[in-house]
Chain A
Amino acid sequence: MNTSVIEASSTGTSALEAARLVLARDIRLALRKRGQLVQPLAFFAIVTTLFPLGISPELSRLRDVAPGVLWVAALLSSLLALEFLFRDDAQDGTLEQHVLSGQSLTWLLFAKTVAHWLLTGLPLAVMAPLAGLSLGVPAAALSGIVASVAIGSVALSLIGSIGAALTLGVKRSGALLSLLTLPLSMPVLIFGARATELAIKGAGFAPPLYLLGALAVLGITLAPLAAAAAVRISLE
């Protein structure tokens, strides 16, 4: 820990500045591959379309299951998006350069996760109301859906960053990643779906939203540390 601080100060770039640079780089690179960004969103749209086809086209019935459908779809779509978090950087060696840079890896990975959330979680929150409307959710409830998906996806990105970092060296890691990440994400699903349900009923949805916020804050505090440890182990 101490050596990284010394080296960082000797290169003249502070940890925050380095994190900002990584954030800007990740966003710039992602915007050049827009097709990749659209995939998780399209997946989310398709999954939410499957439920009316599978259950019933009656909006009154769909409204009852809408919170669960929206949140399970959001969870799966964020799981799908995790593949983009470290994979390319691990393949071309960028991640190793991050480890060797002498900068705090925790901050760099936090910046990468923030970039990932801005590119996948936030668009999901913007898109969730459309899916909600198609499931018969009243327009008044849409703000609750946006808020819960926006906050919940922060927690999902952070939990996912640990799983993605742990499975870096594993070939065909998709199934393993979901086995690692989904059990840890269940509290997010519970509180997110609860907030959505309360919003649909027209009740106050603040309490589960606070709990989602608490999960996100806990994730911000601890997840980058665990992810940094995991990246170091995976790249050894």
Chain B
Amino acid sequence: MAWTWFHRLGSPPYIYGLAARLTPWFAWSAAVLIIGGLYGGLVLAPPDYQQGDDFRIIYVHAPSAWMSLMVYSTMAISAGVGLIWRIKIAHAVAAGCAPIGASFTFAALVTGSLWGERMWGTYWEWDPRLTSELILLFLYLGYMGLRSAMDDTQRADRASAVLAVVGIVNVPIIHYSVLWWNSLHQAPSVMQLAKPTMPPSMLIPLLMMLFGFTVLFAALLLVRLRAEILNRERAASWIREAVTQ
């Protein structure tokens, strides 16, 4: 069994080149999926019988919320891989994930609060999903804060990796405790999203957006990863060749 493909994944010059080659593919498919999904969701899909056109914000809100968790898992898993097998590239991936994930989380919060204004009549409701999302944003901010507090990249990598792994253990606990806290304090929320009954004309654009956001994340991550590698390997000789090519 040839493991060379696996070992190559730990080599910065190889990853740098690979990321450069893959970025356009992800970026273009993200553009196609998101434009198609937006057209399908904002123009083609019929208005909701209860919420009218207001429901259309779901095409940005749900994918953002989904990405906020997926990016956090990606970050924690690659941080864990970097911590256990001491792979520098894995740390660079984790470091690249954090700002993207924080942005998606922020987008989910803003769109959720705008949606809340239309549905509940208030910008902020202590809804369990909004609350967990807010705590998730704090987790991202803590991770980025810890990274920026340390000058030495290697130490920042490993310390923030410990935090990311501790965080991923805590995310389900936070989620369920918030859910439980909320169900005791607040009447069931006004909004009922009957997902299974969503007709295909609404569902297909949503799936396209979900997939498009995932691919967008991959494209953004690859760009950030290249920047991370450039920054970390700035003393290496291959960088000069790669940049002047």
Which chain A residues have a beta carbon within 8 Å of chain B's beta carbons?
Answer: 162, 166-167, 169-170, 173, 176, 179-180, 182-184, 186-187, 190-191, 194, 211, 215, 218, 222, 226, 229-230, 233-234, 236
Contact = CB atoms under 8 A, between A and B. Distances in A.
Interface of B: 83, 135, 138-139, 141-142, 145-146, 149-150, 155, 158-159, 162-163, 165-167, 169-170, 173-174, 177-178, 180-181, 184
A186 B146 contact: no
A162 B162 contact: yes
Contacts of A218: 173
Given A183-B135, A229-B162, A194 B150 contact: no
Nearest to A198: B184
5 contacts: A167-B146, A173-B149, A184-B167, A186-B174, A186-B177
Contacts of B173: 187, 215, 218
Contacts, number: 72
Nearest to B143: A180
Q: Is the interface of A mostly helix, strand, loop or mixed?
A: helix
A167 B163 CA distance: 11
Nearest to A162: B166
A166 B163 contact: yes
Contacts of A182: 138
A78 B167 CA distance: 20
A169 B150 contact: yes
B81 to A, nearest CB: 15
A71 to B, nearest CB: 12
Given A162-B166, A170-B150, A222-B169, A176 B145 contact: yes
B166 A226 contact: yes
